[in-house]
Structure 1
């Protein structure tokens, strides 16, 4: 039973890690891994000295922080609210409705955003003008770019993120709630003193794992939302890697950029796991 899982990780996770070698080479597909000249940290030095580096890092970091601050807690809140619903039919209906967007591709989600917010007949702007307001070009306004990104992310992925938290809530011992009610605790105090402590371990583990992808802010969504008017705040590491690696064929350089992101991710995981253990949590290792 273990063999398929082990084989999957060997073939698709560990074997491709040899590809990071080209970050330290002047790689050419014609000479391959072993024939390409070794140049050490030259690509990293070039990347850090790029005029775009500061802007790319800032844009990526801001969206990453938004993900942790605004998106990560939302599935927890929704799961806690659903857990308080006592009518199973209503609860399962809401669960199904908020799960559905996860299965919609980003192409469709961004297409819906364009239909809703465009100034040329968009529903939102039509409603604004019908009440005497002026149209707002949300799609081209760089000040609204990050808000649009986070709004789409929350709508699409919040429901799917509640699955693990609802599973954790289902495992909470009901006797704890009974004891809390006997002690005079209302629903709010039961939430604070029973429910949240019971799922704290799950929250900590998922947060640590999320930090491993801290700078992965989503290529497809951002690439589809980018335009010349919002590129100043929307260009991130993923889109930069696509431009240099795929469009310009600079495989070594783009691999170095991705390796830089991965190093930051693993550093955050190690630090977060260390602090989690310091406060009494199990962590991930």
Structure 2
């Protein structure tokens, strides 16, 4: 009589051999595609060293961190610093300013690289096209210190070139840098001037992948350039636009810290103070490192929620999303 335990042992042996077979298959694929894995190895090391390993530091947000004692000997305080953040008198001012500046960037800045890419794609003179691209890319390589200095020498009330011309023409000087009503718009225009040209690279690459036969068929059907852009180019790059829009929504809590730090002054603090400047003032200047880490965790969680929400909405609207 056959031992009833024997089939179970055979089944168990198959189960134990399956991971070994999968591991051998993985090794075979690793050796076969070794050059591709070597190609992505520097990127993986970058994210592992500079993104994953530093995540251990989020524990500081739950400690009364003392740099001399270190993380292991610092006192645990739980969610105290999160409570201090949410209980801060100007918390909603920080939230309003952060979201307000980002909404203006989303509405005014985000479409500009798309429009610039469409216009550059229509340029037929190659030399003029390449020169124009180089001019548009150049501001991206300037530091915010240079951009802030140029802004000051252009529109400051005393020494600004624009106000000097207005004064010479007998017109009243315009106060911009110290006027809180213009601050968000000024920050957005600076971002457009500096980075819009650089943002066209991805869209130009997406446009370059459009099948030229589609344009030839549209010309045969009598479609003009605007019709070709509307019915061929824009639908072809729509997935790229949606992905970048989702990623941009995920950065709604991030504001250019260097830009704001250089452009803010006491007269515009009510519209310029954001979470990044709050973390800098408390975490760096006052030495409350745990407060700065708590702000970073809060921003990260909100950004994750926004990305998941934007991705969910895009899929409901028939787009692929980012995952």
Q: CA deviation at 1:76?
A: 0.5
Pairing 1:193-212 to 2, within 5 Å after superposition: 193-212=231-250
Instruction: Report deviation, 1:110.
Output: 0.2
2-structure distance, mates of 1:179, 1:41: 63
1: CA distance, partners of 2:54 / 2:187: 30
Cα contact 2:98–2:252 (8 A) shared by 1: no
> Taking structure 2 as the reference length, what is the TM-score of the superposition?
0.86
Separation in 2 of the partners of 1:267 and 1:71? Answer: 23
Q: Which runs of 4+ in 1 moved over 4 A?
A: none
Q: 1:273 is matched with which residue? A: 311
Aligned to 1:187: 225
Instruction: Within 5 Å, give how 1:18-167 maps onto structure 2.
Output: 18-167=56-205
Max radius of gyration: which structure? Answer: 2
Alpha-carbon distance in structure 1 between the residues aligned to 2:300 and 2:146: 29
1:221 aligned partner: 259
Whether 1:241 and 2:241 are equivalent positions in the alignment is no
Alignment root-mean-square deviation, CA: 1.1
Unaligned runs of 5+ in 1: none
Task: Report the Cα offset of residue 52 of structure 1.
Answer: 1.1
User: Partners in 2 of 1:280 and 1:54 — Cα distance?
Assistant: 35
Greater relative contact order structure (CA < 8 Å, 6+ sep): 1
Aligned residue-pair number? 285
CA distance in 1 between partners of 2:49 and 2:87 (Å): 35
Q: CA deviation at 1:282?
A: 2.0
- Structure 2 stretches lacking a partner, 5+ long: 1-37
**What TM-score does the superposition give when structure 1 sets the normalisation length?**
0.97
